[in-house]
Amino acid sequence: MPLQIYNTLTRQKEPFVPGTPGYVGIYFCGPTVYGDPHLGHARGPITYDVLRRWLEHTGHKVRFVSNITDVGHLVDDADEGEDKVQKRAKLERLEPMEVAEKYMWAYFDDMNDLNVRRPDIAPRAAGHVPEQIDLTQRLLERGYAYVRGGSVYFRVRAWPGFGKLSNRQVEDQEAGARVEVREEKEDPRDFALWKSADPEHIMRWKSPWGEGYPGWHIECSAMSLKYLGEGFDIHTGGIDLQFPHHEAEIAQAEAAGYKFARYWMHHNHVLLGGEKMAKSTGNFVVLRDLLSRHEPITVRFYLLGSHYRSVLDFTWEGLESAKQGYMRLLNAYREIRRQVAEAPAGRHAGLERAIDALESRFAAALDDDLNTAQALAALFEFVTEFNKALPDKPGRDTLARAEAVFGQLGEGVLGLFPKRVLEASLGGDLLDGLIKLLLEIREEARRERNFALSDQIRNRLTELGLTVEDTREGPKWKVGV
Ligand SMILES: Nc1ncnc2c1ncn2[C@@H]1O[C@H](COP(=O)(O)OP(=O)(O)OP(=O)(O)O)[C@@H](O)[C@H]1O
Ligand SMILES: [Zn+2]
């Protein structure tokens, strides 16, 4: 079965068919860079990182574009208030572009720790002002926009398709309108494509309508079309962006005469105490704090443990049990790698079947709208089977296949065993060799009834987070309990 994706546009799971066979273009609405990322900000990048890796694993060439909003996102998310980046710049006494750089790198550093691959292109709104001006001009020429006082607004009433993604009608918006009516707008639902800059506004560019800056929504239409082309494959983002941001993106592109994204994926929120994690409400866990106190991959594992379309209520207990689960997988992978190095040639029928089952269950899970929780379950089932097969001393050929498949799915697709983690736990050959040497010395001490020394070695290893088990084949060590 091919990959099925839940498409927000049609509200159903659909088989995913790339516009050009073998090639996939993905756009992700990235962060507005004016503060430290919180845990909620990691869910989208990790989800779509797995999507990207899965598509590559299944033979596609992927171009992943993730924008950085460094201008135009105003404090109230509508067309009023200060620019978020500029406001922060005043607080920190920095240039707005210094603020953008600082928090963009904070974001990418966190994503790096989480083993989220860098986007192929990370376009910044401030670097694409001419493209945004062009698109705005096109909308003016076609009658879907108008100029008032140096600003340009999209004429929502002229575009009947507005609301098709979120299923929110213009009337709903009117009824619950929080949006302050700008006198210069023809209609309160209209949104800014270009805003005239007040004298104190720092980030400003020349335009046919005077000095100003782009509205928040226009960057994503302009930059996704530029780098992925018309009718590109998948547009992704948080569920809160469906309306009005994504609705506006579609309207801007289509009213200008361009085909826009064919599949829309939206991830649900990470909650804290039942409420959305959000900067504006102060209800959040700073990602950097979490990553400096816990192995970042356990945070990735934790987020992948639930389906991206369901809410995830963060708890410390949940993170703790994710840690235990992750260690089980990591230790199993480590054990497979060690066995491969030591086992004689040969095959093991039962383990071969378990590898087949892992491959097919894993694929079925991810093909079913990226069910990462089920994909993890497939890895755990395999670990159980592997442990069962161990007393038979399976041969190297089967073990090598197990190592390859576990690695391709666990690291290649789910991103759970980056080199850094493997080196820390396996220690490569050097650490492995050193620990073995210590254990040999301990054995010798025991034989000589020097229990003080043998206990000291064991206790010191335990303090370092290693567990030593005495088995019939001699002492074995692993990370964690
Ligand atoms: N709690 C969350 N869970 C999942 N995704 C989130 C969460 N909060 C924000 N996002 C996503 O992160 C991206 C950046 O959001 P944004 O910068 O508006 O963060 P925020 O914390 O919600 O800020 P604010 O509270 O000021 O609106 C968006 O795509 C948004 O959907
Ligand atoms: Zn966007």
Q: Which residues line ligand 1 (CB under 6 A)?
A: 29, 31-32, 38, 40-41, 43-44, 237-238, 240-241, 269-270, 276-280
For the chain, what percent of residues have pLDDT higher than 90? 76
CA dist 417 and 415 (Å) reads 6
Give the model confidence (pLDDT) of 140-175 as tens digits: 999 999 999 999 999 999 999 999 999 886 555 554
The reply, when asked if residue 249 is annotated as ligand binding, is yes
Give the strand order in the sheet containing 275-276. 275-276, 270-272, 312-314
Give the model confidence (pLDDT) of 415-434 as tens digits: 999 988 887 755 556 777 78
> What are the structural domain ranges in the chain?
4-125+134-139+217-297, 325-426, 429-479
Token code pair at residue 52: 């990207």
Enter the DSSP assignment of 128.
G
Give the model confidence (pLDDT) of 170-224 as tens digits: 555 554 444 555 578 999 999 999 999 998 888 999 999 999 999 999 999 999 9
Q: Given this chain, do its domains 4-125+134-139+217-297 and 325-426 carry the same CATH topology?
A: no
Topology of the domain comprising 4-125+134-139+217-297: Rossmann fold (3.40.50)
CATH of 325-426, one of 1.10.760, 3.30.2420, 1.10.1740, 1.20.120: 1.20.120
pLDDT score for 178: 47
CB contact set of 30 (below 8 Å; sequence gap of 6+): 66, 67, 68, 69, 107, 119, 122
CB–CB of 223/131 below 8 Å? yes
110 CA → ligand 2 middle, Å: 21
Closest ligand to 31 CA? 1
pLDDT score for 300: 98
Give the model confidence (pLDDT) of 77-130 as tens digits: 667 778 888 889 888 898 889 989 999 999 999 999 999 999 999 999 999 999
Give the residue, out of 41, 85, 220, 242, with the most ligand 1 atoms within 8 A of its beta carbon, to mutate for a pocket test: 41
Q: Coil, helix or strand for 82?
A: coil
